[in-house]
Amino acid sequence: MLRIPKSMLRKGMYIEAVECPTTEFSLRRFLLQSDEVLRSIRNSSASHLLVNCARSTVKIDSSEGSEPDRPDQPGPSVKMADPVAVRQEVSRATKALREEFRLIISGRVDLSRLGPTAMEIGASLEASPDIFLEVTRLKSKDEGTYVHSLAVSALMTHLGRLLDLDAKTIEALGIGGLIHDVGKIHVPNAVLRKQGPLTPGEMKAIRSHPESGYRFLKGHGERSQIVLDICRHHHEMLDGSGYPAGLAGDQLSLPIRICTVCDVFDALTSPRPYKHAWTKSDALAWMYEQGHLFDRTLVIRLSSIFE
Ligand SMILES: [Fe+2]
């Protein structure tokens, strides 16, 4: 395995991971065969990629990159607190959230019911952040979306408290975290779970989820601007390279920035088919390096949760 800068990328390389916060690439491993995918990666916010030399169809010189320095083992394991209680709470909240999404899909929505779930799950993370994250990593694949949403929601409310935001905003952060990806109910599972490169049409489908989620929530009476903004803009980046609107800098409100940081942190520290999860400290260090994409102040605050 070799870590190479994206400028060295060429067709015939087998990509194990693109170090990039966008879901089009970050979850996928594939043999790079088309100019179009090559161009997309070059135009993405990624700076480096992990390449599997053995599975590549072109010869790659080891001087083209460096050994990946991330350890293959998950980070330091749980400390203290009561893992059984946390596991029970996560399991209960996962069931509650799955039921809410079932209602959402069937058109019967009562978004106000999400507030208490968000607050309870936030309290659970607050009591023991390390255990909470460990537990959310153990869930089965089909629970992945719900568990990711729970983790993002809990991280967001905790960050909101650390930032001394008011109770109403914190609750909106929690709800926003739970439903930020609700637009994915309109994206076929085959596309969401596909491991190879996406066709332009599939990429378009994935990139439509923030906007379709926003329209869905608005159409069902969601009035909190914070929740709506989180849903619509959680894939925007500070330098304007994100989507759907390409907002940049001050155009991104604090709640949106909070969601982006928590969303990417949870994605990076979750297991992927090709490798163990990044450790928390590696994920935070990498995000801090990407100051053009993420709000560094928030990355530092997030890291304080796990000290
Ligand atoms: Fe998303």
Does residue 199 share a domain with residue 110? yes
Q: Of 49, 64, 79, which marks where a domain is finished?
A: 64
Does residue 178 share a domain with residue 56? no
Question: Best-predicted range by mean pLDDT among 118-127, 147-156, 228-237?
Answer: 228-237
Q: What is the dihedral of CA 166, 293, 28, 209, to 10 degrees?
A: 50
Does residue 84 share a domain with residue 28? no
What's residue 119's pLDDT? 83
Residues bordering ligand 1, an ion, CB closer than 5 Å: 181
What's residue 113's pLDDT? 72
Does residue 145 share a domain with residue 6? no
CA of 260 to the centre of ligand 1 (A): 9
Give the number of other CB atoms < 10 A from CB of residue 148.
19
Strand order from edge to edge, sheet including 30-31? 2-5, 48-52, 14-18, 30-31
Does residue 3 share a domain with residue 141? no
CA of 133 to the centre of ligand 1 (A): 19
CA of 218 to the centre of ligand 1 (A): 17
What CATH number corresponds to the domain at position 186? 1.10.3210.10
First to last CA, the chain: 31
Q: CA 217: distance to chain centroid?
A: 20
Q: Which one is predicted more confidently, 119 or 79?
A: 119
* pLDDT(76) > 60: no
Rounded average pLDDT over 171-189: 88
Domain that holds residue 25: 1-64
Does residue 217 share a domain with residue 150? yes
Q: Which one is predicted more confidently, 117 or 79?
A: 117
Rounded average pLDDT over 187-202: 83
Does residue 39 share a domain with residue 81? no
Q: Of 19, 37, 64, which marks where a domain is finished?
A: 64
CA of 91 to the centre of ligand 1 (A): 22
Number of domains in the chain: 2
Does residue 274 share a domain with residue 157? yes
What global pTM score does this model have? Answer: 0.76
Mean pLDDT across the chain, nearest whole number?
82
Taking CA atoms, 268 is separated from 76, 82, 123, 265, 284, in Å, by 16, 25, 23, 5, 9
Distance CA 155, CA 137 (A): 14
Q: Pick from 162, 183, 163, 168: which is nearest to 119 by CA?
A: 168
CA of 259 to the centre of ligand 1 (A): 10
CA of 266 to the centre of ligand 1 (A): 12
Does residue 153 share a domain with residue 56? no
CA of 210 to the centre of ligand 1 (A): 6
Q: Of 64, 83, 103, which marks where a domain is finished?
A: 64
Confidence grade of residue 217 (pLDDT, cut at 50, 70, 90): confident
